Structure 1
């Protein structure tokens, strides 16, 4: 304790030490920042075309899935399938029969994006990995 003239204490001795309080506030603030849920925002962007050459070779005899622009929209191993439910059953049966074969997806350029997303969601839900998406190389 600092004593001034004639035993009177200084005004500094009467103020509380705020250092421990600041440490606790900082720790709580960091905890809240790390645990806060952050809303992911996305921007609409136009994706560039690739100038690199696509892989032309696939493993021998892959499971091929095609999405067409006209009905029937689905084809498996070159055979058109009339409905989505029939296609799902046939694809699951083919993948279970040949688990070592890669799944290759070929979609018509004028095909529905909704059908492509539906297929990708189905593949993800059933933990089926599509190893390639067939694309046409940019001619420019």
Structure 2
């Protein structure tokens, strides 16, 4: 045991001070967390193909929404609507008139993804649940 000239053990004086080491470890850890890139993972899935006749047999008179590839892009219950604002108003009116009916979306394969996302965002914003997304059958 080492004694100082005053007779007190000097164990505390001989231990290294770890505070600077901990500071450096935390700085490096924060740097690594801020610079780490997060890879978004996604799955490749094949969507099922359905035809409209099978849907009409299983669903009782759904509210049908169509997105076409050419203008006018929007159709509700088979009737084309010229503008997005008119389409939104007509869809809200139809859903409020028949809240029990399911909403079915049919999009043209060559249609704009932007139009599909715009429609899905509108449905989510207004708490309208789409029960099915239809795809055209390959011929």
| TM-score, length of structure 2 as denominator length | 0.66
Is the contact made by 2:109 and 2:136 (CA closer than 8 Å) also made in structure 1? no
Deviation at 1:136, TM superposition (A): 3.9
Structure 2 CA distance for partners of 1:78 and 1:138, relative to 1, 3 Å: closer
Aligned to 2:126: 126
Quote the Cα distance in structure 1 between the aligned partners of 2:14 and 2:102.
72
Structure 2 CA distance for partners of 1:40 and 1:134, relative to 1, 3 Å: farther
- Tell me the secondary structure at the aligned position of residue 11 of structure 2: helix
RMSD of aligned C-alpha atoms?
A: 3.9
Aligned to 1:115: 115
Segments of structure 2 that go 5 or more residues without pairing to the other structure are 24-29
How many residues in Structure 1 have an aligned counterpart in Structure 2?
124
Is the contact made by 2:108 and 2:136 (CA closer than 8 Å) also made in structure 1? no
2:40 is equivalent to residue 49 of structure 1: no
2:93 is equivalent to residue 93 of structure 1: yes
Deviation at 1:5, TM superposition (A): 9.9
Structure 2 CA distance for partners of 1:3 and 1:41, relative to 1, 3 Å: closer
Segments of structure 1 that go 5 or more residues without pairing to the other structure are 26-31
Aligned to 1:65: 65
Aligned to 2:9: 10
- Tell me the secondary structure at the aligned position of residue 65 of structure 1: strand
Quote the Cα distance in structure 1 between the aligned partners of 2:5 and 2:110.
95
Is the contact made by 2:104 and 2:131 (CA closer than 8 Å) also made in structure 1? yes
Is the contact made by 1:49 and 1:138 (CA closer than 8 Å) also made in structure 2? no
